[in-house]
């Protein structure tokens, strides 16, 4: 999703968004593979506090990609 496919589509997410999401992906991996007593409460708190900014960023980028798809479908209809 972070890679542009030339002549097909732009990247769905920017490198910045992917970097931001990596922290959350790492946490998900930890949750799925490690017991909860190994959580760092400060890191969890940081992730929780930042989630609204992450949500807004990802939402913005997904809406931009949806707009690209809408434009592409209109061109193909003509």
**Residue ranges of the domains in the chain?**
15-77
Q: Predicted confidence band at 35 (pLDDT cuts at 50, 70, 90)? A: low
Residue 47 and residue 39: Cα distance in Å, rounded? 12
Q: Which residues of 23-50 are buried (b: 16+ CB within 10 A; e: fewer)?
A: eeeeeeebeeeeeeeeeeeeeeeeeeee
pTM: 0.76
Residue 6 and residue 29: Cα distance in Å, rounded? 32
Q: For 68, phi and psi rounded to 5 degrees? A: -55, -45
Residue 41 and residue 37: Cα distance in Å, rounded? 10
Q: Predicted confidence band at 78 (pLDDT cuts at 50, 70, 90)? A: low
Residue with the larger pLDDT of the pair 75 and 48: 48
């Amino acid at each position: 999703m972070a890679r542009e496919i030339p002549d097909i589509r732009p990247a769905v997410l920017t490198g910045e968004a992917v970097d931001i999401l990596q922290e959350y992906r790492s946490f998900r991996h930890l949750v799925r593979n490690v017991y909860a007593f190994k959580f760092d409460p400060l890191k969890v708190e940081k992730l929780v506090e930042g989630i609204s900014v992450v949500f807004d960023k990802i939402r913005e980028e997904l809406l931009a990609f949806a707009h690209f798809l809408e434009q592409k479908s209109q061109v193909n209809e003509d």
